[in-house]
């Protein structure tokens, strides 16, 4: 999660903000917008040809609009289809994934959510995850959503990633620090 954090450009943020505004205005619900964006992401990730066509400057916009209508009309709201057409018109379709990420990040802020990555050597029990979630929520004063990964290389303990901050409480890290102090 924190490792694949992308740099969001100003234009991508502006497009994401327009979607946020659509949610605030009641044109669509925030979760509906996110669901439609995730549907688009899923379809485009499965069809590199579709993405290449949408990003190809040699293909006229009207042809791209027809393709967008045929591919997405049964899957997503017309307002989001029109949003895709704006991206095509402005030659910004290649920024779609980052726009989706920026929208998701902004929605997390609105919903007071902080996404945290937890890396452990062994799978955490439900009780351990619950306790960890509660502690992080108290510390961060936000609702916490944890994505958990296993990495046996850390030997024991936890590595917690919150944005760019890393709390390394792993046994591997403690052993490395101990060996540095001995030498």
* pLDDT the model gives residue 160: 92
Are 82 and 118 members of one domain?
Answer: no
Contact of 28 with 19, CB cutoff 8 Å = no
Taking only the tens place, the pLDDT of each residue in 77-126 is: 999 999 999 999 999 999 999 999 999 999 999 999 999 999 998 999 99
Report the length, in residues, of the chain: 183
Q: What is the CA radius of gyration of the chain?
A: 21
Are 83 and 140 members of one domain?
Answer: no
Across 35-176, the runs of DSSP E, i.e. the strands, are: 113-120, 143-150, 157-162, 165-170
pTM as predicted: 0.79
Are 76 and 155 members of one domain?
Answer: no
Q: How many independent structural domains does the chain possess? A: 2
27-31, long-range: CB < 8 A, 24+ apart: 27/79, 28/77, 28/79, 28/80, 30/107, 30/110, 30/111
Are 14 and 87 members of one domain?
Answer: yes
């Amino acid at each position: 999660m924190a490792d694949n954090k992308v740099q969001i450009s100003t234009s991508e943020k502006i497009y994401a903000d327009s979607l946020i505004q659509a949610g605030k205005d009641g044109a669509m619900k925030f979760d509906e917008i996110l669901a439609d964006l995730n549907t688009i992401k899923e379809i485009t990730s499965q069809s590199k040809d579709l993405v290449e066509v949408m990003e190809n400057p040699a293909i006229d916009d009207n042809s791209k609009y027809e393709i967008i209508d045929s591919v997405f009309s049964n899957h997503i709201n017309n307002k989001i289809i029109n949003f895709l057409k704006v991206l095509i018109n402005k030659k910004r379709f290649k920024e779609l994934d980052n726009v989706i990420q920026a929208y998701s990040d902004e929605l997390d802020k609105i919903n007071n959510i902080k996404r945290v990555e937890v890396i452990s050597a062994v799978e955490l029990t439900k009780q351990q995850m619950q306790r960890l979630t509660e502690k992080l929520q108290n510390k961060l004063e936000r609702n916490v959503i944890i994505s958990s990964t296993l990495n046996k290389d850390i030997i024991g303990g936890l590595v917690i990633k919150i944005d760019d901050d890393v709390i390394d409480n792993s046994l591997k890290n403690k052993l490395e620090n101990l060996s540095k102090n001995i030498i």
